[in-house]
Chains A and B, each alone.
Chain A
């Protein structure tokens, strides 16, 4: 530890900390552009100048290590002058286009020029102009505004793991870009917008849309992947205008994946905004009471056990518990959330959660990935893995799945299917040595790897690997299931797993699942959801529900972390929050659910599963007994990845124009239709 005095305030900071960190510890604000605590230090903007006693000139505090007994001044005449000078230089080539700049109002340069700059400029010469660069469909560039802090270059290289951005040319001619004018190949590109301190990199869909002070900001949770990214939904006049990540070091740090950030225009398109009822074979618009009436008429004559529910990938916990209680009251336990056919064993929570936790990845020292491409399934978690992989200490990564994937970190491709899995489970594979040598090994099993006939065997084999290679200990849990969407864990917690002997249903309630495939012919289908996909087309009654931005709802991420999102905008038209729809239906079905406020539903949730009532805690593993399934029965079949089109993997992004453009940009062109 080093003792440093900042403006007379004494602080203790670890040796090797920077002067800037010491100043922050003392509560002093240091202006900065290039410094970012999650990136390497570049020290090139010079905005963070401070004075250090006995140093002849101001020093750049972000790149200067502290020394014991150092005396730092952050507000001396030398510092003020230095900052003003730096700011004047930065502004020499910066356009005065704040009135038409989308960063206006949330621009570091604007704010710091106000706080630390001159009140006028002495520069009379011509300013430099830089042509804009192409970085893909999500990022708008206005490169004349770039102050060459290189944050974007470091983000792309270090965090995203796609070294495609750079600074070409030199001096006044230095330009930031890809040089070859190609879209950045990352699922994390939106973060460049957040990280750019000026308006050089801004959001293309948000261009000229709004000013930050006009927005209502609502904290929520992203559910378009299973990371549980903490987000802020910015709205104006009942419309979502953008989505930004919030900082949560345990989950997403301060990053966010592109699909979650940019699909929100899909919330406005192809929405179900009123109830529909099928009459004489055709769907017609209806009122709520007609819709409930149609349901009641059909349900009344049906035996309880012949009623079933299927839970979709984006369902919230409140709706699930309400539906479960309703079916229970009607005499059915036939709820199923594994509509994708994943052979998940829900009998114990650690069989289906990401037990190491996302932050825990940084403590692991070996990783085996089975049938998952985390880069596409959970880009932010993948960034965590990459962070661990490039941290210096050895981190062997074994991968079972398709060959030749770019995960953004080095991995050892072990094989593509069950044969390799069985070999590792038997302890005879070369990668077993890596796992045994590790102190905290972990594995990630993709949910996609369980969507096959031998899924239970794959699950059992993965658990066996964990149990027999030191991954399951009292102080460490290295078994992880990586889910794909934000609504996939809650129904498992709530026991939405159909009993094996359930009779074929006559009434099926689809809660936001488009998957009507296994609905028996002739069954009466109730579709409750926000986007009309296949399930809606097959429905007899459509109940318009709310999307994740439109309800106060509870979500459980792949770790099993329970988080709550808030209502940012009201559902469109006659659509309603989902648990309320079910609550209203229960009344008409004569099985009135015993809760009529959000708090009451949440009390019921806590009662249904303790996770909803208590805080999140990381757990070790003491019970090595594995899920049902025969580890040796895994077949040789190669693992197929569940997500082939990252940009259009859920109903919301499928309705989004922005995501459609991404798909056009990034996916190989679809083969032309054969001529008839």
Chain B
């Protein structure tokens, strides 16, 4: 991740660029945000988790509520700036403190994204196991120009992420909140086609392994001591 990056460049989500002030002027920023009934119920429950006077602790969960609501309402799960102000107001915080949190974690998208967020893990174990193929499949099947881009039909946005903690089943492709594991070029293409059709294949291993058990048969704990 070395090298210069231009602020306001094309990338999204990942904290590397585009999380900054320039966003404010972006045409896609809505001028209004309000929690809907579903979100309000969640917000009330979340705030109750923290002792009075410490509501600010709920800032991260509330930003997630915003992001999910945006996904529900607009098909693009992101956190607009006005929504950050709403969260700040609700929690009695200075707005800048919410901006800091929202831009720090790249799980919060501070710009609109596609319907599906394809998060390709490119860290060493996944890379050794073929994440380059997964990325290529995303680009080709999803018609996405590359990391940080969204397909012209608004269906897919690609982001490169660091280790997702699922290395045993590498390579991993995270779609929104779901992990698809043991991916290769073909299974990625199939997954993307399914998503485009509106299906949501069952997450987990694409080669049918049980959780993180070895591929094929067991390789350890073969003998029972004492027998």
Contacts and interface: CB of A to CB of B under 8 A. Distances in A.
Contacts, number: 79
A522 B163 CA distance: 88
Contacts of B106: 170
A171 interface: yes
A184 to B, nearest CB: 11
Contact of B6 (A129, A157, A167): A129
B103 A128 contact: no
B201 interface: no
A44 B2 CA distance: 22
Contacts of A128: 4-5
B7 A130 contact: yes
Contacts of B8: 131
A172 B7 CA distance: 12
Contacts of A126: 2-4
Nearest to B2: A125
Interface in A154-202: 157, 163-173, 175, 177-181
B2 A168 contact: no
Contact of B19 (A134, A164, A165, A168): A168
A127 interface: yes
A127 B21 contact: no
Nearest to A178: B96
Given A128-B5, A131-B20, A163 B97 contact: yes
B99 interface: yes
Interface string A96-133: 00000000000000000000000000000111111101
B128 interface: no
Contacts of B97: 163, 166
Q: Is the interface of A mostly helix, strand, loop or mixed?
A: loop
A381 B2 CA distance: 47
Contacts of B5: 128, 173
Contacts of A168: 19-21, 99-100, 103-104
A409 B160 CA distance: 44
A163 B96 contact: yes
A164 B97 CA distance: 8
A129 B9 CA distance: 12
B17 A173 contact: yes
Contacts of A165: 96
A171 B15 contact: yes
A169 B4 contact: no
Contacts of B2: 125-126
B2 to A, nearest CB: 6
B108 to A, nearest CB: 11
Interface residues of B, number: 28
B1 interface: yes
B44 interface: no
B35 interface: no
Interface in B5-37: 5-8, 15-17, 19-22, 24-25
B139 interface: no
B137 to A, nearest CB: 28
A167 B100 contact: yes
A128 B5 CA distance: 7
B111 interface: no
Contacts of A130: 7
B81 A180 contact: yes
A134 B22 CA distance: 11
Nearest to B16: A173
Contacts of A175: 7, 20-21
A129 B5 CA distance: 7
A127 B22 contact: no
Nearest to B14: A173
- Give the most central of A128, A157, A163, A169: most B CB within 10 Å: A169
A675 to B, nearest CB: 31
B60 to A, nearest CB: 14
A180 B24 contact: yes
Interface string A536-563: 0000000000000000000000000000
B94 interface: yes
Nearest to B25: A181
Contacts of B95: 180
A390 to B, nearest CB: 14
B138 to A, nearest CB: 23
10 contacts: A130-B7, A131-B21, A131-B22, A133-B21, A166-B97, A168-B19, A168-B103, A178-B21, A179-B103, A180-B24
Those 9 A-B pairs whose CB atoms lie nearest each other, nearest first: A163-B94, A166-B96, A168-B103, A179-B99, A126-B4, A131-B7, A166-B100, A169-B19, A170-B104
Interface of A: 125-131, 133-134, 157, 163-173, 175, 177-181
